[in-house]
Amino acid sequence: MLEATVTIPDETISRVSLNDASTELLRKLWIQYGPLMFHQSGGCCDGSSPMCYPAGDFLTSDNDVRLGTFDIGPNADGSPMPIDFWMSREQFAYWSHTHLTVDVVKGRGSGFSVEAPEGVRFMIRSRLMDSATPFV
């Protein structure tokens, strides 16, 4: 598991992680698309699947919370490969008590997420946060 760095003020425990399969796929996608980002909405259809976009293709705002940043690097040139994980503030209100793990499974998800042409989709697996973690 690769834990994201903590980006929410006053928190000390990561809220989101990548399993090994997701990390491997993201390294491959980074080579194809360049820097990446995740956004988890609360919408319909694939709303429970995080969408992976080229960094900056999905515009975030004050209505979004950055849960953490992964570094899946180093890149071929030795540079870091950061990936921010964002969630809509409304969805975060529902999921504030959970730790999220990004998994990858066979099957097609949204055509907007960069993994779709690979015949796989990212999926969230969740568990309750440790009691030592602050609830927002």
The tens digit of pLDDT for each residue in 12-55 reads 999 999 999 999 999 999 999 999 999 998 765 545 689 999 99
Reduced to 3 states (helix: H, G, I; strand: E, B; else coil), residue 118 is helix
- How many domains, the chain? 1
The tens digit of pLDDT for each residue in 55-108 reads 999 999 999 999 999 999 998 899 999 999 999 999 999 999 999 999 999 987
Q: Is 44 part of any domain?
A: yes
CATH label of the domain that carries residue 18: 2.60.300
Rg (CA), the chain: 14
Q: Is 134 part of any domain?
A: no
Per-residue confidence (pLDDT) for residue 42, from 0 to 100: 72
Predicted TM-score of the model (pTM): 0.90
